[in-house]
Amino acid sequence: MITEWLLSALAAYGVLLLGAVTFFSCLALPVPSSLMMLTSGAFVASGDLPLAAAVGSAFTGAVLGDQAGYMLGRGGSGLLDRAAAHPKRGPLIQRARKMMQERGGLGVFFSRWLVSPLGPYVNLVAGAARTDRVQFTAWSIAGEAIWVSVYVGLGTFFASNIDEVAEVAGNLSGLLAALALTVVSGWFLLRAHRQSERRKEAARMR
């Protein structure tokens, strides 16, 4: 299987293979990028791979992959239209378009790590929409930094239980989404409470 081959090749080719995998994952190719980063973290823990090299290669590959996807989208609508007509990719394209319309740069940021399956399609949509490239790149870098740090970090700290961590990490996006929803909801409630208190204070001073 391709996944088993990539994992075994990681020991031999290290950072070059890791960077290539994260690059191609950002172009929607079916490569096990998250599992590769977890495994690279385990190699870091065992001393077989430097932490800076693992994080740097995965991060560089991901950011370059985002740029490649953006440029493919910017090159013309044909590729995006063909992807939108695909029965499996079409719904992802629609979700990516909606995310960019509603959130703009934050859509790029969240699609790197919180809803990562949308990431490659957000790249295409952002390019096709002529999103400002500096803004796209800034949000891409911020999001990929979280994505890479989380997975390499999990692999490093839980190297002895890498199989269990891989299973949990498969649900990581859902856990992060729930956490983000909780934080945002709490922020809105706190904001509403403060506004209510200010209105009461203003009423008392009249």
Per-domain residue ranges of the chain: 2-162, 171-206
119-153: per-residue pLDDT in tens?
A: 999 999 999 999 999 999 999 999 999 999 989 98
| Helix 51-74 / helix 2-25 crossing angle, nearest 10 deg | 60
pLDDT of residue 193: 63
pLDDT of residue 172: 54
- pLDDT of the chain, 206 residues: tens digit per residue: 556 666 677 777 778 999 999 999 999 998 989 888 988 988 898 888 899 999 999 999 999 999 999 999 998 767 788 877 888 889 999 999 999 999 999 999 999 988 889 999 999 999 999 999 999 999 999 999 999 998 998 888 887 665 655 655 555 555 455 444 444 455 556 666 677 777 767 666 66
Q: How far is CA 124 from CA 72, 82, 111, 136, in A?
A: 6, 12, 12, 11
Distance, first Cα to last Cα, the chain: 74
The kind and range of the H/E element at 14 are helix 2-25
CA angle at 161 for the pair 118 and 109, rounded to the nearest 5°: 20
Contacts of residue 60, defined as CB under 8 A and 6 or more positions apart, other chains included, come to: 19
| Cβ–Cβ under 8 Å, residues 63 and 140 | yes
Structural tokens at position 28: 């929607």
> Which residue from 139, 80, 151 is spatially nearest to 112, judged by alpha carbons?
139
pLDDT of residue 178: 46
C-alpha R_g of the chain: 20
